[in-house]
Structure 1
Amino acid sequence: MTVAGVLLAAGGSRRLGAPKQLLKTNGVTLVERAARQLLDAGCCPVIVVLGANAAEVRDAVSMLTLECVENAHWERGMGTSIALAMTALNAVRFAEVRAALIATCDMPAVTVEHLVALKTASNSCDATSSAVSGTTSGVRRVASSYVGPDGATVRGIPAVLPRADWSALAALDGDEGARAQLRQPDTLTVSLRHGSFDLDTPADVAAWHASEAVSP
């Protein structure tokens, strides 16, 4: 099954005060790390959505075999970036792509192994589950699941969205994201420990660096 990778890297990092895409871990920027994870998980093509600091972020992934698209409306929210990526994937040359794995670069808990697990779950259904989900391609929608700050279980990205969802995703605007699709009862989940932790503020970055320092 051909699964595209979509890396959302357009945000302005207002609460952080610096481009989170260009933060480094072990000498590697977060945007490069996240793009490499999608490539290493077997996603093809990988599309990086740029916005704020587009030139610098593009340069940070210039050594990788991927495509960049620039979102002129990134300030309106994540939905515009997802819509742009889905429009790009609907091009004829990507007709063999059956699903898109959407990720961001500010979730330190994400690993290549987790992305592979999402892809595997999306393709591990039989005829019965395909009938239940209403898909004809046999590709299931799969979200990452983790405990949110309020203690409730969250379904979120990284997530695999089958082509059947793309029309709705291409119409997104604002900061809505793919929540409506991921809340559907037929959505499968793969647990992501510490998935609710992302790098939004200087305190988050400090906690991340501290955790790296004590990791074996």
Structure 2
Amino acid sequence: MPPGSVAGLLLAAGGSRRLGEPKQLLVDETGVPAVVRMARALRDAGCAPLLVVVGAAAEAVTRSLAHESVHVVRHAEWAHGMGSSIGAGMRALIDLTASTDDVQGVLIAPCDMPAVTAPFLVALRSHFTGTERVAAAYVAGASMPAASAAATTAPARGIPAILPRADWPWLKMLSGEQGAKPLLQQDTIAVPLGDGAFDLDTPADVARWRQTQGLGGRSANT
């Protein structure tokens, strides 16, 4: 692998309590589930190996990934929070790459941010040479694309983000709600994501997203 090569870690274990159905399985205008769309985006950005952490709706999410080249990490304690999922995924990644030092970073991504695309992930990778942290910068708290464009809040740094191998021992110890943000607030290259703060947390979020796609009242998982 070339210098600056990165693994992909896709977080797809959440319970989607506010949405009421698995957000991992929400389909876009082409009928592709969110978890598959993001797995393909990570693959197209050159991330390898690619791990997907599953928890809630694990069987259905795993089935949706049946034709994708991914390592599925089943996380029984997914309800403990995003940090717990990162920790589980990182422990699996460390085991998977124990015999090589070719993989110099990990790109951690969620599956519920429609603004995150393969070209944006490629942009993140273009800033990574092996030692620095690189993170998306977006307006925290924006509830929809139009709102984020007009917001004046200072951009926050968060996932998707690339963290170098030196950070992996810290990441593998995560066990609760807190994710990688403490690391990303220091010595991090920020790459603007625009509407990245828009995620699919509630039925209203999904309805607005479907309007932008022209899906109207189409069922989430059909």
Same fold per superposition (TM over 0.5): yes
The one-letter code sitting in structure 1 at the alignment partner of 2:135 is A
Q: Which runs of 5+ in 2 are unaligned?
A: 143-152, 216-222
Query: Within the alignment, does 1:96 sit opposite 2:106 as a pair?
Result: no
Q: Do residues 20 (structure 1) and 23 (structure 2) align?
A: yes
Instruction: Provide the secondary structure at the position in 2 that maps to 1:68.
Output: strand
1:122 is paired with a residue of what secondary structure?
A: coil
2:57 match: 53
Residue of structure 2 equivalent to 1:4: 7
Q: Specify which of 83, 89, 98 is matched with residue 79 of structure 1.
A: 83
Q: Distance in 2 between matches of 1:96 and 1:59?
A: 30
Show structure 1 runs of 5+ residues with no match.
124-137
> Number of matched residues?
199
SS at 2:91 equivalent:
helix
Cα deviation, residue 28, structure 1: 0.4
Aligned to 1:129: none
Report what 1:207 is aligned to. 208
Q: Which residue of 2 aligns with 1:183?
A: 185
Residue 141 of structure 2 corresponds to which residue in structure 1?
149
Partner of 1:134: none
**Which stretch shows the higher mean deviation, 155-164 or 92-101?**
92-101
Distance in 2, Cα, partners of 1:94 & 1:67: 17
2:114 paired residue number: 108
Letter of the 2:20 partner, please give it.
G
What SS is found at the alignment partner of 2:170?
Answer: helix
Equivalent residue for 1:35? 39
SS for the counterpart of 1:174 is: coil
Moved more, 205-214 or 98-107: 205-214
Is 1:66 equivalent to 2:43 in the alignment? no
State the match for 2:167 in structure 1.
Answer: 165
2: CA distance, partners of 1:166 / 1:9: 19
CA offset digits 1:165-195 (Å, max 9, x no partner): 11111111111000111011x1001100101
Shift of 1:96: 2.1
Deviation for aligned residue 1:94: 5.1
Find runs of 4+ consecutive structure 1 residues off by over 3 angstroms: none
Q: Percent identity, please.
A: 52
Deviations along 1:125-152, one digit per CA (max 9) or x if unpaired, are xxxxxxxxxxxxx421001001122723
Matched to 2:18, the amino acid is R
Superposed CA deviations along residues 89-144 of structure 1, whole A, max 9, x for unmatched, are 21224542110000011000011011011111012xxxxxxxxxxxxxx4210010
* Deviation at residue 2 of structure 1 after TM alignment: 2.0
CA–CA distance in 1 between the matches of 2:135 and 2:190? Answer: 5
For residues 46-71 of structure 1, the C-alpha deviation after alignment (integer angstroms, 9 at most, x for no partner) is 00000001010001111011100111
CA distance in 2, matches of 1:2, 1:85: 18
SS of the residue 1:24 aligns to: coil
Partner SS state of residue 11, structure 2: strand
For normalisation by structure 1, the TM-score amounts to 0.89
